[in-house]
Amino acid sequence: MPRLQKILVVGGGTAGWLTACYLAKTLNASDARSVQVELVESPSIGALGVGEGTFPSIRGTLAAIGLDERRFFVGAAATFKQGVHFVDWVRPASEAGHHHYFHPFNHPSQRAGSPELLPYWLLGAAPAGMPFAQAVSMQQRIVEAGRAPKRMADGNYLGPMNYAYHFDAACFASVLAEHGQSLGVKRLLATVEHTELDEQGGIARVLTRELGALSADLYVDCTGLRGALIGGALQSPLRSLRDVLFCDRAVAVQVPDATPDAPIRPYTMASAQESGWIWDIGLQRRRGTGYVYSSQHTDAGRAEEVIRAYLGPAAEKLEARHIKFDPGYRPEPWRRNCVAVGLAGGVVEPLESTGIALVELGAYLISHLLPGDRNDMARTAKLYNQMMSARYERILDFIKMHYCITQRRDSKFWIDNVDPASIPNTLRDRLALWRHRPPHRLDFVTDLEMFMPASWQYVLYGMEFKTDLEPMRSAYPQGEAARREFATIQQVAGRAAGDLPDHRALVEQLCLEHAQEGRMEVAAPARMGG
Ligand code: FAD
């Protein structure tokens, strides 16, 4: 059997380095007898550099590649993210002031022996007017108090609250590059200009400007929106998602903090606008912001006005970066001996931060499905393609739900978003079911879903979706127990908010401790020798 000996990752953004690290760690690439992992990145083509919000799966991924959490905080200028705070997604501010709801990462509380709380919340057992997320999870109180999800003493990637991160995308790629090389990834600096195919239509070699020909048994295309190998040489087509998700442009502005001790929000803000929405995330020294919008409904000039108005005087003289993307994915991201990961495989707009989570999934699947025989890739490719396509379709429904259950009718963008023709049948069916019963675990094939039932519930009920459980009231006789549980959650939330540290304080302490550990490591040999 011709053994798989070498993998070449083409591209050095988040997708390239995360995949290379994952492959190198899983395949033990630092052992010369193992599969070798090389990464070639262009010194002249920049990375997109805007993927700065993540999903909690990132913790498992960073732990799996063996990166220390403190090292990551320092290297990637990271902060904590505990969910997404949505503003004005249900109604425009002009109707009755700002509408808010929170999608926390914590699952709804469910203690052994106590009832599932959602039906009781729907039947009015929670304190009057209390939003679903606040009633069933303590995380909303924690973030409103500006608290971190963990304490200094909690271990690497562990904490009492579920969490992800915000980080500087360019710094993240650099820290991964350093870590990847320590795992045995060979880094090459060169731009791939041509791809030569073999007789079977697979890739024989890539030709670079600086280093000539490079060849491998498997090529991982991480060249970003270009999809230079998978879309260029192999011509794997894109399935457009434009008929469902209209946003296809962004204008991004980086806003330096006014003072070094400015509080950092421990969540992403997503504020709905006339033709899209604005992300606003807090890093260690700046905010990353951007207006994601539909070019069918507005233009770049107006979009820049909208984000500048949102930011106010803080944005004066700051550069605005305009980005185009084409929402869609490749149903066949793995073709012959080439697999695309990251933007080369597909782009879904950044609401709910699915981009990097899809990179994590791609890296995980390739590492674990990889065949040892380099001539036997077709079956693995088929399985990989089925799983990735299913994941994209589930994500598509989840993102679209944020738009299509709105009550907003104040602009053509929102009116078009509720047009039934733009809503996938799978989502329409589910929404119809959920008018009479809440989402249940059995509605989801969990291995194919990125978003668990709790996330669907937080968004549905945060957006005032109505599920009529009245006809089934008698099936829920544990109202008293549920009421006690709702009260307990509020008490525990108050205590937890007191126990957890301030967000910025913890981030700074983690970075400081890492720096001190580094100094001790450097100092130790000198003392021993002296
Ligand atoms: P890139 O970052 O573009 O990197 C491409 C790499 O390929 C670069 O290193 C480049 O030098 C190299 N390259 C290109 N061509 C060649 C060549 N010919 N030869 C050699 N090297 C080459 N995702 C999230 O999870 N959270 C978010 O908040 C988020 N926000 C986003 C906002 C916007 C507006 C967009 C469009 C996407 C967002 N995403 C987000 C998606 C996220 O940015 C990407 O999933 C992630 O950054 C991965 O990008 P990438 O590595 O595939 O591509």
* 3-class SS of residue 327: coil
Supply the residue whose CA is at minimum distance from atom 45 of ligand 1. 355
192 pocket-lining for ligand 1 (C-beta < 6 Å):
yes
pLDDT at 2: 81
Ligand 1 atom nearest 279 alpha carbon: 28
Substitution candidate for ligand 1 out of 343, 347, 392 with most atoms within 8 A of CB: 343
Res 192 pLDDT > 70: yes
List the structure tokens of 45.
């083509």
Section 478-488 average pLDDT: 96
pTM: 0.96
Res 442 pLDDT > 80: yes
Contact 169, 82 (CB under 8 A): no
**DSSP per position, 203-224:** EEEEEETTTEEE--SEEEE--G
pLDDT at 529: 31
Substitution candidate for ligand 1 out of 222, 229, 251, 295 with most atoms within 8 A of CB: 222
pLDDT in tens, 354-389: 999 999 999 999 999 998 888 889 999 999 999 999
449 pocket-lining for ligand 1 (C-beta < 6 Å):
no
Q: How confident is the model at residue 263 (pLDDT cuts 50, 70, 90)?
A: very high
Substitution candidate for ligand 1 out of 45, 210, 349, 361 with most atoms within 8 A of CB: 45
pLDDT at 519: 61
Res 50 pLDDT > 90: no
pLDDT in tens, 501-516: 999 999 999 999 998 8
Residue 525: partners with Cβ closer than 8 Å, 6 or more residues away? none
Res 451 pLDDT > 70: yes
List the structure tokens of 484.
């006690």
51 pocket-lining for ligand 1 (C-beta < 6 Å):
yes
Res 499 pLDDT > 70: yes
Res 526 pLDDT > 70: no
List the structure tokens of 224.
């970003």
Substitution candidate for ligand 1 out of 8, 14, 40, 55 with most atoms within 8 A of CB: 14
Share of the chain above pLDDT 70, in %: 97
CA distance 273 to 291: 8
- Tell which residue, 267, 287, 301, 74, has the closest CA to residue 165: 267
Supply the residue whose CA is at minimum distance from atom 43 of ligand 1. 51
Section 130-155 average pLDDT: 97
- Give the sign of the dihedral formed by CA 164, CA 169, CA 173, CA 179: negative
CA distance 446 to 371: 25
Q: How confident is the model at residue 520 (pLDDT cuts 50, 70, 90)?
A: low
Contact 125, 482 (CB under 8 A): yes
pLDDT at 448: 79
Alpha carbon of 322 to ligand 1 centroid (Å):
15
206 pocket-lining for ligand 1 (C-beta < 6 Å):
no
- Give the sign of the dihedral formed by CA 20, CA 25, CA 29, CA 34: negative
Alpha carbon of 226 to ligand 1 centroid (Å):
10
Supply the residue whose CA is at minimum distance from atom 27 of ligand 1. 51
356 pocket-lining for ligand 1 (C-beta < 6 Å):
yes
Res 530 pLDDT > 80: no
pLDDT at 522: 46
Contact 271, 280 (CB under 8 A): yes
Across all residues in the chain, what is the average pLDDT?
Answer: 94
Alpha carbon of 47 to ligand 1 centroid (Å):
5
Res 7 pLDDT > 90: yes
Contact 4, 217 (CB under 8 A): yes
Res 51 pLDDT > 80: no
Question: Tokens 């070019």 correspond to what residue?
Answer: 295
pLDDT in tens, 75-103: 999 999 999 999 999 999 988 899 999 99
Section 449-467 average pLDDT: 96
- Tell which residue, 497, 530, 482, 405, has the closest CA to residue 122: 482
What is the number of other CB atoms lying within 10 angstroms of the CB of residue 336?
A: 21
pLDDT at 441: 87
Section 206-228 average pLDDT: 97
Res 523 pLDDT > 70: no
191 pocket-lining for ligand 1 (C-beta < 6 Å):
yes
- Give the sign of the dihedral formed by CA 486, CA 488, CA 492, CA 494: positive
Q: How confident is the model at residue 252 (pLDDT cuts 50, 70, 90)?
A: very high
Tell me whether residue 81 is one of the annotated catalytic residues.
Answer: yes
pLDDT in tens, 343-363: 999 999 999 999 999 999 999
Alpha carbon of 177 to ligand 1 centroid (Å):
15
List the structure tokens of 425.
């049948």
Section 480-509 average pLDDT: 96
Q: How confident is the model at residue 528 (pLDDT cuts 50, 70, 90)?
A: very low
CA distance 277 to 293: 7
Alpha carbon of 309 to ligand 1 centroid (Å):
28
Catalytic pick among 81, 150, 317, 324: 81
Phi, psi of 36 (to 5 degrees): -90, 140
341 pocket-lining for ligand 1 (C-beta < 6 Å):
no
CA distance 54 to 288: 13
Supply the residue whose CA is at minimum distance from atom 41 of ligand 1. 355
pLDDT in tens, 105-128: 999 998 888 899 999 999 999 999
